[in-house]
Amino acid sequence: MLKWLIIIVAGYLLFRMLTNDQKRKSKDGEKEKERMYAAGEMVKDPICGAYVEKDGGISVRDGETIHRFCSYDCRDKFLEQLQGGGREIPEAAKHDAD
């Protein structure tokens, strides 16, 4: 009976160590993203809110503003919103997006 109790307690402690390690890693990753955002190395996708690199490859120029996107789907939704809002997208902006 004592063996089983020791095995159960050891298993529980091992489980807690692993889950705490995963939580700590996720918090460290979030802190790194926040640091990069604060340092100006990342910008927020205007559609889904994901943080992407400031020098990312998927972008659309809207006048003087350059919008960065995490995916082509988000970029396409943004372009649809611009067109749906009564704003025409200049041909140069469409080519910059590709």
Give the residue, 14 or 32, on which the prediction is more confident.
14
Q: What is the pLDDT of residues 49-92, one digit of tens each?
A: 888 888 777 888 888 888 889 889 999 998 888 887 766 555 54
Q: Are 60 and 66 in contact (CB under 8 A)?
A: yes
Which of residues 24 and 6 earns the better pLDDT score? 6
Structure tokens at 69: 């996107």
Q: What's the pTM value of the predicted model, to 2 decimals?
A: 0.49
The proportion of the chain whose per-residue pLDDT surpasses 70, expressed as a percent, equals 69
**What CA–CA distances, in Å, run from 17 to 5, 11, 27, 88?**
18, 10, 15, 56
pLDDT at 98: 47
Strands 59-62 and 51-53: unpaired
CA distance 1 to 66: 68
Separation of alpha carbons 96 and 81, rounded Å: 17
pLDDT of residue 92: 46
